[in-house]
């Protein structure tokens, strides 16, 4: 409806003085249309890496570490005790285990050397840290986008209220302006009409001359 009113105003701009109340309210409608387009775009989150993919990367890191620790344990009994696989493979268990391994390995470089001696990449601890950080960053970004979406939803409500106020004022003006011009009055009523979904079990009623939110 706002877009139709905007178009009507553009088509009939010559009928109103630039600083008139009508022109001012038509400008408000244009501002509302632009604001709604921006806010609606902000409600749509961008493409995120799947949380399952990020968790799978951590799971593979842990699997490599625990498998190698079990091999080392054959010649160094008790070594694998510090690198037990998670009891479950849910997100919390995987993240808790990853944090534990990172803490142990960064605090004891000698342990890292034993893994590397068994052909683990020299940067395997850094790789685990990066995968763990990626999951945390993804979660934070998702929450940030959710909050932004909520903010944009609130903005949309405010813009709609502003737009409806402007259209209500314009409706009164157009009835006065085009009282003797049936064609333009009909065009205005079409522009300012708000479509509503028909409800089951009810009989649709004709739209009022003055739009309501």
pTM for this structure?
0.44
Residues 16-45 pLDDT 10s: 999 999 999 999 999 988 888 877 765 555
Q: Which residues contact 106 (CB under 8 A, 6 or more apart)?
A: 125
**H helical segments located in the chain:** 2-11, 21-43, 51-73, 91-107, 109-117, 124-177, 182-191
pLDDT at 15: 93
Residue with tokens 């400008």: 27
pLDDT value of residue 23: 93
Domain spans of the chain, in order of start: 2-46+144-191, 51-142
Rounded to whole angstroms, what are the CA distances from 174 to 1, 21, 29, 63, 186?
16, 11, 15, 72, 10
What is the residue-averaged pLDDT of the chain?
81
- Distance (Å, whole) CA 3 – CA 31: 11
Mean pLDDT (whole number) for 117-130 = 91
């Amino acid at each position: 409806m706002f877009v139709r009113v905007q178009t009507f105003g553009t088509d009939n701009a010559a009928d109103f003085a630039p600083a008139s109340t009508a022109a001012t309210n038509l400008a408000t409608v244009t501002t509302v249309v632009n604001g709604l387009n921006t806010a609606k775009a902000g409600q749509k989150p961008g493409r995120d890496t799947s949380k399952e993919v990020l968790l799978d990367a951590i799971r593979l890191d842990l699997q490599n570490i625990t498998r190698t620790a079990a091999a080392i344990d054959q010649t160094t009994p008790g070594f694998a005790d510090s690198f037990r696989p998670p009891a479950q493979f849910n997100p919390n268990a995987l993240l808790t285990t990853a944090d534990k391994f990172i803490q142990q390995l960064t605090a004891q470089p000698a342990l890292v050397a034993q893994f590397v001696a068994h052909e683990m990449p020299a940067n395997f601890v850094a790789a685990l840290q990066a995968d763990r950080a990626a999951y945390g960053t993804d979660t934070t970004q998702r929450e940030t986008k959710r909050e932004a979406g909520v903010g944009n939803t609130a903005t949309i409500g405010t813009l709609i209220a502003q737009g409806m106020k402007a259209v209500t004022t314009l409706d009164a003006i157009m009835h006065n302006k085009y009282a003797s011009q049936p064609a333009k009055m009909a065009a205005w009523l079409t522009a300012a009409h708000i479509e509503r979904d028909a409800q089951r079990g009810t009989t649709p009623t004709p739209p009022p001359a003055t739009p309501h939110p």
